[in-house]
Copies of this chain bind each other. A is one copy, B any other.
Amino acid sequence: MHIKIFTTGGTIDKVYFDEMSAYQVGPPNISSVFEELKLAFTYTIESLMKKDSLELTDEDRITIVRAVARDASERILITHGTDTMVQTAKKLADIQGKTIVLTGALKPALFKTTDAVFNIGCAVIAVQTLPPGVYIVMNGCVFTHDQVRKNRQQGMFETLPSSETGII
């Protein structure tokens, strides 16, 4: 099985530059996570942008949708900032015949304790086992793109209150 990975930035890729006492989006950490592992699937990684997801514009989302639609692979994994992950997921909803999984992290992958590696593991299996559709995989669960929101205070994703079917 081949997985195509698009990276867009977000907390998962944040690094710290002491020279500027600043915290910025760096290169996609999913590559270094994968390099430390022996994987039985093949993959390619393409960096579309390096942005905090609050800074993603409509044009950025069009770029993402086009890249996914155009790609030959039926298994698409997108790493993305968590704040507007749901918004991007909705834009991808019209794409047919592909299993599209978005994931990210609440703590940068470069931290000693981070959810990044666990979330990437979750997303890798979700994208291989789920039927076509758009999913958010966070907090160890699969959420359908239209039944989920980020609860910022809890630092967790949750199904919409009205929904009973959002979590798979």
Contact = CB atoms under 8 A, between A and B. Distances in A.
B40 A141 contact: yes
Q: Most chain-B Cβ atoms within 10 A of its Cβ — which of A21, A36, A112, A122?
A: A21
Contact of A19 (B19, B129, B152): B152
Contact of A140 (B37, B111, B140, B154): B37
Interface string A93-125: 000000000000011101111010111111111
A40 B168 CA distance: 11
Contact of A153 (B19, B52, B108): B19
**Residue among A16, A41, A108, A124 with most chain B CB within 10 A:** A16
B106 A18 contact: yes
Contacts of A1: 141, 167
Contacts of A78: none
A120 B117 CA distance: 10
A107 to B, nearest CB: 6
Nearest to A137: B125
